[in-house]
Copies of this chain bind each other. A is one copy, B any other.
Amino acid sequence: MRKQLTKPGQLLRITTWLCAGTLLGLAACSSPSGSASAPAQLEGPTNSLHSPGGKLTLRFGLGADGVPAYQLFFGNKPVVQPSRLGLVLQNQPGLDKGFTVARVDSSQHDDTWSPVWGEVKSVRNRYKELAVTLTQAAKDDQKERQLVVRFRLYDDGVGFRYEFPAQPGLTYFTVQDEVTEFNLPANHKAFWIPGDYDSNEYTYTTSRLSEVDTAPIEVIQQKAEPHTVQTPLMLKSDDGLYINIHEAALVNYPAMMLNVDTKGFGLRSQLVPDATGTGAKAYLQAPEHTPWRTIIVSNKAPEVLASKLILNLNEPTQLTNTAWIKPQKFVGVWWEMHVNKASWNYADTSNIKLAGTDWTKLKPNGRHGANTANVKRYIDFAAKHGLQSVLVEGWNVGWEDWAGNWKEEVFDFVTPYPDFNVTELQQYAQSKGVKLIMHHETSSSVTNYERRQDEALRFMKDHGYDAVKTGYVGRIIPRGEHHDGQWMVNHYNRTADHMARQQIMVDMHESVRPTGLHRTYPNWLASEAARGNEFNAWSSGNPPEHETILPFTRLIGGPMDYTPGIFQIQLESWNPERNKGKQVHTTLAKQLALYVTMYSPLQMAADLPEAYEKHPDAFQFIKDVPVDWDDTRILLAEPGEFITTARKAKGKDEWYVGSITDENARPQTVKLDFLTPGQPYEATIYADGSGASWDKNPQAYQIRKQPVTSTSTLQLQLAPGGGAAVSIKPVGK
C-alpha cells in the first residue's frame, strides 16, 4: 500500500555540496560531464529511509545547483558516499541539475512469489520505496520537465531507476550519457573484467580500485576506455563489506559499464554507445524508464549469492501457461568441435555464398560432426542416461566461412547439410523420448537473423524442436552497433518475447549479460555472456579461481550455460598437435561440483559420450543432479577463493552439495543442518582423489558413500583447483 510519507522539503533536507577538490582533483562542482565530479553532502536524520529490517539506510537529496544525489549505509558503514544522479540528453538541456523536489512518495511492499523455475521455491519481495519527483522549471523554449527517481530499498541492497513520465516538455529524447555515480568510500578490492561493448568473455582481474587498468588486457572485441569495467562488479571493502553493483531489467536501454576513478574510488555509469558516432546511447519516448541500478551489500559473502534483489526488480511474466517450459540437462555435438575431433563445417573452403551454392556438390571434409549417424549416437546416449535433450551445432549450411568476414548473408537457419537428415532425426529422437535442441548461430548478422526468424521458428515447430541455442559471434550487423547497445538489447528481448509466444525455450550465447529478465521471460533459460568452459579447450584457459568468481559477478544477473562436466580434462586423446598443453583448469570432481555451484535450469553434460562411458561412477552425479530446486543454501563463499552451496531438489527431499576452490587446496566443513531432522540419508561424496590437483593430476577422484543426518558434518578436502559434489538422498526409516 502506497502512501505519501511527507511533503516535499520535509523529508529531505540537503545542506551543501562540498567541492572536494582535494579528493577528486580539479573537477568543477557544476560539471556533470567531467571524468570526476563533486559528491553531495547530505545531512539530517529525516533524510533517511531505512530498509525493512533496518540493515540499510538510504539518503536522497539535492545539492547545490539542484543536482540530485544519494548515499547508502550498511548499519553505520558508508557503502556509497554522496553520489550524483541524472542524465545528459542529446540536443536539449540535461536532466542532471537545476531540479527542485516537487513531490516525495514513499511506500512499503512485502509479498512472496513463485518462480517458474529457480534456486528456491518462493521469493520474498520486501522493500521500502521512495519515489522522488523532481522538476526543472520552464526556461526559454524549454517547458517544465519532470524526472522521477525511484528507489527500492531491501535489506540486502537497493535498486533505483530514472522514470520519465508522459509530459508536454519531454516526449522523444536521446540519452547522451547517464551520470549516475557510485562513489565508494575507500580503495576496495574489485573483481573485474574490462569494459568491452561486445564481449564478456574475459578472465577476472582482482585488484584494488586504484589498480584498475584494462589497457594491458588483450582485447576480445571492442574495449572501452582503460578504466572502464563491466557489471556485475564485485567489491570487497577492508572493513568487511561485500558489495555488488549491477542493473536489473535491462529493457530498451544499453548496458551499463562503470568508469573507475582510480584516485577517488568513484564509479560512474558508462553506457554502451550506438552506431551513429555521435555518442548517443538510448533513443527513448516518454513515458519510459531506465533499468534499475542495483547495489547488493552485506557483511556476509553468501548473502550476496543468495540475494533475490535483481529478480525482484524484474517484472513478473505475463505467460499464463508455463507448463511447456522445462529445465533440462542435455548433451550435444559441440565439445568434439572444440577439441578438434570434428568440425562445424561440412566442407573445407573459405569462400561460400549462401545464395546459389549447391551444398550437395561440395566435397565433404570427413570431419563434420553434425551428421545423422553421430547425432543418433548422442540421442542413444541421452536416452540411455535419462538426459532430456541433444544440442546439435553445425547442422545447417553456411559454416564454411561463417566468422570474421562481417558478412550479412551467412546462415538461413532452415537448410541442413546434406549429411544431416532432419526428418529422420526428428523421428529417431521422438522414438527415444529425447528432444533435439536447435542451434541458430547468427554470426552477429542480426539483420539477417531478424529477416529469417519467423521462418526459422516455423521450421523448428515443423520439426519438433522446442528449444534453441542462439549465438552472436563476431561483429554486429547493423554495422557499428554493439552487442551490449540499446539496439541489440531490444533484439535479445524481442527474440525472447517472440519465442515465448511460440512456446520456444532459448539459451543465448554472446548476448548481453543477464539482468534478471528470466523472471519476465521464463523461456529464456540461460545465457552465456561470460567466459565459458570451452575456453579451457583452446585458449590459455580459465584459471582455477574463475568459477569461484562467476557466481559473484556474471551469475548475479541470471543463469549461465557454462557447459560443465568435462571429464577428459587433459584433452590428450584427440588432436595431439592442436591440443598440446591444453587442459581444463579444474579437477574432475570440481567439474561435478559446478552443477551445484553454478545455478542454471539448463545444464549441459558437455563432454563426449565416450568420456562419460569411461567414468560411469562419476557420471552418475550428472545423471542425478537436478536442474530445478526448492531451496538453496549458500554455506561457504568467498569470491575468488571458494564456494560451497547446498540445494534441495524440486519436490523431493534430496539435497545436492557442490564445493569448489581456487588454485589452493582447502578443507571445507559442511554442516548438514538443512536436512530434515530425524530423517536418515545417504550421502554420496564425489571428491578429489588422493594427490589430485587441477594441473598435475586432475582426473583423480574418489567416490564414497556414508549415512548422514541433520546433525552430521561433512569434511570435504578440496585439492588445488578441486572440488567436491555430494548427493544426499533419504533412506527408508
Contact = CB atoms under 8 A, between A and B. Distances in A.
A481 B480 CA distance: 9
A362 to B, nearest CB: 15
B480 A407 contact: no
A172 B274 CA distance: 25
A166 interface: yes
Interface string A436-468: 000000000001001101110000000000000
A350 interface: yes
Contact of A353 (B280, B285, B405): B285
Given A447-B450, A447-B478, A450-B447, A406 B275 contact: no
A284 to B, nearest CB: 10
A277 interface: yes
A171 interface: yes
A405 B286 CA distance: 12
Interface in A462-490: 478-481, 487, 490
A95 to B, nearest CB: 18
A274 B447 CA distance: 15
Contacts of A274: 479-480
B480 A275 contact: yes
Contact of A479 (B275, B451, B490): B275
A46 interface: no
Contacts of A350: 171
A285 B351 contact: yes
Contacts of A406: 172, 174, 283
Nearest to A478: B478
B171 A286 contact: no
Given A406-B283, A450-B451, A451-B450, A479 B276 contact: yes
Contacts of A487: 447, 478-479
A351 B166 CA distance: 9
Contact of A275 (B408, B450, B478): B478
Contacts of A447: 447, 450, 478, 487
Interface string A263-286: 000000000001111001001011
A481 B478 CA distance: 9
Interface in A156-175: 166, 171-172, 174
Most buried by B among A283, A351, A490: A351
Nearest to A170: B351
A275 B275 CA distance: 7
A171 B353 CA distance: 11
Nearest to A451: B450
A407 B285 contact: yes
A637 to B, nearest CB: 41
A495 to B, nearest CB: 11
A455 B498 CA distance: 14
Given A351-B171, A447-B447, A451-B451, A405 B275 contact: no
Contacts of A276: 275, 479-480
B172 A480 contact: no
Nearest to A353: B285
A274 B276 CA distance: 10
Given A450-B450, A455-B454, A480 B277 contact: yes
Interface string A342-357: 0000000011010000
16 contacts: A171-B405, A172-B401, A274-B480, A275-B275, A275-B478, A277-B480, A283-B408, A285-B405, A286-B351, A447-B447, A447-B450, A447-B487, A451-B453, A478-B478, A478-B481, A478-B487
Q: Which 6 A-B pairs have the closest CB atoms?
A: A478-B478, A275-B480, A172-B405, A277-B277, A276-B480, A275-B275
Interface of A: 166, 171-172, 174, 274-277, 280, 283, 285-286, 350-351, 353, 401, 405-408, 447, 450-451, 453-455, 478-481, 487, 490
